[in-house]
Amino acid sequence: MKIRDILILIAIAILLSAVSIQIGQWSYSWLPPQASTESGLIDNTISFLVTLGSFIFLGVTGTVIYSVILHRASEEDLTDGLPIEGNITLEVVWTVIPVFLVIWIAGYSYNIYQQMGIQAPGHGSHPNMLMDAAYAETLNSSGKENLESSDSLVTPVENTVENIQVDAKQWAWVFRYPESNVTSTELHLPVNQRIRFALQSEDVIHGFYVPAFRVKQDIVPNETINFELTPTRIGEYRLSDSQYSGTYFAAMEANVVVESAEDYQKWLHQAAKQKPSIANNQAAQEYAQNEQQEFQNGWQTVPPAAPPLVNYHT
């Protein structure tokens, strides 16, 4: 290989790297606002992978397009290309480099994953689950007694953790604040405080997902799944069911309000004073409307659960 060729290759590599790094930076703008401590970590991983991926994509497609433009044969040209059957060095290089890339990406992802886990308090009490990020540990599968007994999970060491129970059912969310005896269909969270959700489902598998928090967890019936995160940004967000749960799946959403500690306490106090009333429920409304319509396709669907009875709803 001539020195000139090597210099050209290096120049191309530098150019590609610069472009890829730029695309990696742009990737932050493809994401919702960062509203939890996990958000930044996950966005960094995405940006890292977008940077690497852009380099590979531009490199490979650039070579293909270059070949197609420069090595295109004319209609009359019936000759063949050079009969090169392979090149062991090259083949070893493009096997070994991906192996290293894979190890790099896996190591990077593992580190990020550990950091997400380390931020979860309560790890010390489960030393044998060190690799298990505490935000997704399955505590018990013995049934619904957990619902009542879950405050016993709160040890004095963890009293800075806010415990919230999440009940999912077809197609409604109910949030229970056990310390204040409040139930709500809107999820209120204090900013900059560790939240531990106890996720439970009454019927089918649902999924807990707030895009701005970046984390997601399936809710499996008959299990209580603990799931932790720390909201960091005051604002309103949307919680969606992320695991397909039947007819009104897309309508199973809830508002999420992240507010200052004072506002949060104020809200809890006010909500506790209100008598439970029936919340609005989109699935139930649509189902009732469909029943009244004259034209129906006759496809019977699973009826929605009764709209939840809660202290606070919008």
Which residues, numbered 295-314, are part of the site for other proteins (CB under 8 A)?
297-303
Q: Which of 272, 221, 261, 274 is nearest to 243 (CA)?
A: 221
Kindly tell me which of 178 and 246 has the beta carbon lying closer to other proteins. 246
Single out the residue of 16, 23, 147, 220 in contact with other proteins (rule: CB under 8 A): 220
Is residue 32 a contact residue for other proteins (CB under 8 A)?
Answer: yes
Range 259-278, binding other proteins (CB under 8 A): none
Kindly tell me which of 163 and 201 has the beta carbon lying closer to other proteins. 201
Kindly tell me which of 177 and 207 has the beta carbon lying closer to other proteins. 207
Torsion sign over Cα 31, 35, 41, 44: positive
In whole angstroms, how close is the CB of 218 to other proteins at the nearest point?
5
In whole angstroms, how close is the CB of 240 to other proteins at the nearest point?
6
Is residue 138 a contact residue for other proteins (CB under 8 A)?
Answer: yes
What backbone torsions phi and psi does residue 277 show, to the nearest 5 degrees?
A: -140, 170
Is residue 116 a contact residue for other proteins (CB under 8 A)?
Answer: yes
Non-local CB neighbours of 208 within 8 Å, separated by 6+ positions: 166, 168, 197, 199, 216, 217, 218, 219, 227, 239, 242
Count of Cβ atoms closer than 10 Å to residue 148 Cβ: 10
Distance between first and last Cα of the chain: 71
Count of Cβ atoms closer than 10 Å to residue 313 Cβ: 22
Contact 46, 105 (CB under 8 A): no
Output the DSSP codes for 83-121.
Answer: -----HHHHHHHHHHHHHHHHHHHHHHHHHHHHHHHTST
- The Cα 165–Cα 7 span in angstroms is 62
In whole angstroms, how close is the CB of 118 to other proteins at the nearest point?
12
Range 68-97, binding other proteins (CB under 8 A): 68, 71-73, 75, 77-87, 90-91, 94-95
Single out the residue of 8, 9, 10, 63 in contact with other proteins (rule: CB under 8 A): 63
Region from 113-121, 175-183, 186-194, 265-273 binding other proteins, contact rule CB under 8 A: 113-121
Residues in the chain: 314
Strand partners, 208: 217, 241
Q: Which element (helix H / strand E) includes 149?
A: helix 145-149
Is residue 46 a contact residue for other proteins (CB under 8 A)?
Answer: yes
In whole angstroms, how close is the CB of 127 to other proteins at the nearest point?
13
Kindly tell me which of 215 and 279 has the beta carbon lying closer to other proteins. 215
The number of residues that bind other proteins (CB under 8 A) is 96
Region from 155-163, 173-181, 185-193, 201-209 binding other proteins, contact rule CB under 8 A: 201-209
Kindly tell me which of 160 and 297 has the beta carbon lying closer to other proteins. 297
Kindly tell me which of 147 and 272 has the beta carbon lying closer to other proteins. 147
Count of alpha carbons within 13 angstroms of residue 34, beta-carbon side: 10
Range 2-31, binding other proteins (CB under 8 A): 30-31
